[in-house]
């Protein structure tokens, strides 16, 4: 009896000094009656016995009906373990609740009747020792269940407390200095509400808790081209879905565009091949969180015909093709595949995204490039009188010289350059070259005539001298 009182004093001191949601160590609740020299860290090693609450509510009403729940001890070792003692603890979290504000009843494993747990009324918080007829022995993999019933008095202060279940575990397979460990359930939160205040549903299904997100499928894009030509033909690639969630999923895939500049949706032509093999236009929409994000759901409106049902472990490939209109901007974009799961009852919608693929849009080139400029003689301006071309006349200057010893001297015929702008002569024909041609022909004719006259004159002179 003296040993039990000493244990309770130690436990009460630990609970009194606890603050916030601090846990009360089971070693403080049960000081070993025998003097055993423990090796450093022996009591801090993880225990092979796990403890879990079942049905513990999130709230309890002061002065209300008692709440019932369980604490299950499970041996995870491959051999027998002993549990010499256990306790239920309520750590105060600043509400000022003490031992006198609670009553705990319990049924030991295998028991059939409820009994009051023994408590120490001193300090804040509360500790109860759970008597058992003998040391609880747990074979490998076995479980032991304590049924608990907690009542909160009407004068208990409203606020948060932290209940917990702690046990001392002994492993007979280890040396004495290593065999003892502490098992604990942890310290979930329990809120004491005043009488008349609404309470939440049990912690297993709290009314205010958000629904769990649905499972998602893995998704990715394959074969995305690096360059798209605006106004060019559509280019193909694929989207692949894989269901590794372990259950059937109903998903709607999407393709997300995102870049530094806004991409107008009417400049994007994204199509997907439906289950019937027909090409359909994807449905655009602005995505949340980024002004330059543009989403395209692979779905026609909100119809169920395009919802993909993926069996457990199934993969599905969706054919896509993408083009941009000729007025699309020239930019750098990233393309990401998204898998959106339609939630079942009690679930919230969820989505998963694959890795991004980058691409650029470029202007049209090649046969569809802008036409090269053509040069056309402009029509004469009616307000400016056409300047008549000045006649080009040949200027021929004949210069007589003394006959050379080799024969009759020939006069040098020099033709003046035609009047004009001093530019280079055209190598082609045309009306502009006609005066030059006439001048050349005239010069040649005059030169030949001069040569003939000079030759005849020399001949006459030669005959007279003979």
The separation between CA 99 and the C-alpha centre of its own chain, rounded to angstroms, equals: 52
Report the topology of domain 2-193. Answer: Immunoglobulin-like (2.60.40)
- The DSSP bridge pattern shows strands 357-362 and 227-229 to be parallel
Does pLDDT of 297 surpass 50?
yes
Q: Which range is most confident: 41-50, 168-177, 225-234?
A: 225-234
Dmax (CA) of the chain = 180
Does pLDDT of 365 surpass 50?
yes
Q: What is the mean pLDDT of residues 129-134?
A: 72
d(CA 118, CA 366): 93
CATH number of 213-367, picked from 3.90.230.10, 2.60.40.3880, 3.30.70.270, 1.20.120.1810: 2.60.40.3880
Does pLDDT of 207 surpass 70?
no
- In sequence order, the 6+-apart residues with CB closer than 8 A to the CB of 182 are 25, 26, 27, 43, 44, 47, 166, 167, 168, 169
pLDDT, tens digit, 9 for 90 and up, residues 216-245: 999 999 999 999 999 999 999 999 999 999
Query: Residue 202: what pLDDT?
Result: 47
d(CA 310, CA 293): 27
Q: Is 388 in a helix, a strand, or coil?
A: coil
pLDDT, tens digit, 9 for 90 and up, residues 47-59: 899 999 988 888 9
Find residue 74's DSSP bridge partners: 50, 143
d(CA 42, CA 10): 20
402 or 127, which is more confident: 127
SS3 percent helix, strand, coil of the chain, rounded to 5, is 15, 35, 50
Query: Residue 120: what pLDDT?
Result: 62
Do residues 228 and 324 touch, judged by C-beta distance below 8 A? yes
CA-based end-to-end distance of the chain: 180
d(CA 15, CA 102): 15
pLDDT, tens digit, 9 for 90 and up, residues 142-161: 899 999 999 999 998 988 88
235 or 33, which is more confident: 235
Rounded to the nearest integer, the mean pLDDT of the chain is 74
Find residue 414's DSSP bridge partners: 397
Band (33; pLDDT cuts 50, 70, 90): very low
Do residues 121 and 181 touch, judged by C-beta distance below 8 A? no
75-79, 89-93, 306-310: the lowest-pLDDT one: 89-93
d(CA 173, CA 81): 9
d(CA 289, CA 274): 29
The separation between CA 427 and the C-alpha centre of its own chain, rounded to angstroms, equals: 68
d(CA 301, CA 299): 6
């Amino acid at each position: 009896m003296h040993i039990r009182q000493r244990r309770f004093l130690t436990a009460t001191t630990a609970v009194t000094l606890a603050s916030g949601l601090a846990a009360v160590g089971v070693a403080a609740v049960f000081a070993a009656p025998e003097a055993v020299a423990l090796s450093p860290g022996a009591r801090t090693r993880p225990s092979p016995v796990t403890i879990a609450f079942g049905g513990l509510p999130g709230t309890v009403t002061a002065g209300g009906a008692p709440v019932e729940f369980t604490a299950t001890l499970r041996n995870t070792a491959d051999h027998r373990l002993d549990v010499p003692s256990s306790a239920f603890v309520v750590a105060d979290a600043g509400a000022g609740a003490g031992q006198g504000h609670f009553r705990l009843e319990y049924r030991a494993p295998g028991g059939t009747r409820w009994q009051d747990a023994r408590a120490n009324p001193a300090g804040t918080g509360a500790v109860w020792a759970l008597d058992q007829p003998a040391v609880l022995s747990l074979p490998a993999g076995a479980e032991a269940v304590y049924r608990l019933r907690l009542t909160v008095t009407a004068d208990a202060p409203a606020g948060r407390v932290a209940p917990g279940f702690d046990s001392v575990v002994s492993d007979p397979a280890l040396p004495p200095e290593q065999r003892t460990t502490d098992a604990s359930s942890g310290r979930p939160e329990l809120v004491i509400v005043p009488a008349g205040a609404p309470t939440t549903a049990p912690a297993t299904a709290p009314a205010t808790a958000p629904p769990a997100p649905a499972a998602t499928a893995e998704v990715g894009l394959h074969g995305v081209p690096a360059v798209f030509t605006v106004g060019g033909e559509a280019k193909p690639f694929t989207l692949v879905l894989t269901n590794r969630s372990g259950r059937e999923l109903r998903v709607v895939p999407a393709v997300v565009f995102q870049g530094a500049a806004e991409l107008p949706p009417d400049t994007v032509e994204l199509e997907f091949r439906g289950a019937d093999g027909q090409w359909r236009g994807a449905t655009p929409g602005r995505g949340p969180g980024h002004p330059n994000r543009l989403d395209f759901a692979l779905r026609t409106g909100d119809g169920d015909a395009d919802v993909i049902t993926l069996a457990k472990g199934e993969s599905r490939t969706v054919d896509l093709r993408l083009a941009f209109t000729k007025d699309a901007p020239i930019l750098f974009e990233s393309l990401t595949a998204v898998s959106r799961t339609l939630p079942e009852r009690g679930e919230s919608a969820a989505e998963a995204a694959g890795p991004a693929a980058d691409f650029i849009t470029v202007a049209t080139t090649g046969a569809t490039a802008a036409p090269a400029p053509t040069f056309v003689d402009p029509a004469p301006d009616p307000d400016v009188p056409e300047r008549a071309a000045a006649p080009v006349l040949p200027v021929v200057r004949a210069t007589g010289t003394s006959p050379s010893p080799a024969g009759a001297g020939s006069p040098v015929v020099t033709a003046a350059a035609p009047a004009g702008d001093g530019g280079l002569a055209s190598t082609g024909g045309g009306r502009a070259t006609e005066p030059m041609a006439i001048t050349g022909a005239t010069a040649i004719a005059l030169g030949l005539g001069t040569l003939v006259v000079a030759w005849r004159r020399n001949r006459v002179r030669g005959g007279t001298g003979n």
